[in-house]
Amino acid sequence: LRMVDDKVMGFDPYLKGVNDEELEKPTDKRMFVLAASLKAGYTIDRLYELTKIDRWFLEKMKRVIEYYTLLEKFSLDRLSHGDLLGAKQLGFSDKQIAAALDDAELQVRKRRIESKICPFVKQIDTVAAEWPATTNYLYLTYNGSAHDIEFPGN
């Protein structure tokens, strides 16, 4: 979502209000109505009826909103290493974590770096392992334990 609109922090339940009619129509803003609906307590079955989005995806989205709600109960100094790592593994940006904690993005980033929570570089295999890939299609993830590539000079 952040890649599509630079004004968006992520799957944010506060950007749009709950509206059943907007849930029924696929638009570029429906995701935020969905986030608000999950935050308001809509069930997966009800959201499936309205959106026809697969329940598996709805469960994943629900998990993000549940985590957002959990973060809102903490302050940065009370946030554990595991909770911060969990937020990053679910795709939360430092800015989104800061908003949930009512803190500054720079403070969250500083805490994350001090906690040694850094992303890993992973490579997408574009040739389905038929032969060694020579093109680098890379992405960053917090759901890894090692880099897929070596960094010259390290």
Lookup: tokens for 11: 């799957």
Task: Compare 138 and 84 and report the one with higher pLDDT.
Answer: 84
Of 30-39, 63-72, 92-101, 142-151, which gets the smallest average pLDDT?
142-151
Of 22-26, 113-117, 132-136, which gets the smallest average pLDDT?
132-136
Tell me the average pLDDT across 20-28. Answer: 95
Question: How much is the pTM?
Answer: 0.86
Tell me the average pLDDT across 93-102. Answer: 96
For the chain, list the domains and their CATH numbers: 20-117 (1.10.1030.10), 119-154 (no CATH)
With bands split at pLDDT 50, 70 and 90, how would you rate the model's confidence at 80?
very high
How far apart are the C-alpha atoms of 82 and 116, rounded to whole Å? 12
Distance of CA 49 to CAs 73, 80, 94, 116, Å? 31, 37, 33, 43
pLDDT of amino acid 154: 64
The overall average pLDDT reported for the chain is 92
Name the residue among 8, 10, 29, 35 with its Cα closest to residue 93. 10
Distance of CA 47 to CAs 26, 52, 92, 120, Å? 13, 8, 23, 34
pLDDT of amino acid 126: 80
Checking if the pLDDT of 50 tops 80, the result is yes
Q: Would you say 38 and 55 are in contact if contact means Cβ atoms under 8 Å apart?
A: no
With bands split at pLDDT 50, 70 and 90, how would you rate the model's confidence at 10?
confident
Of 24-33, 55-64, 79-88, 125-134, which gets the smallest average pLDDT?
125-134
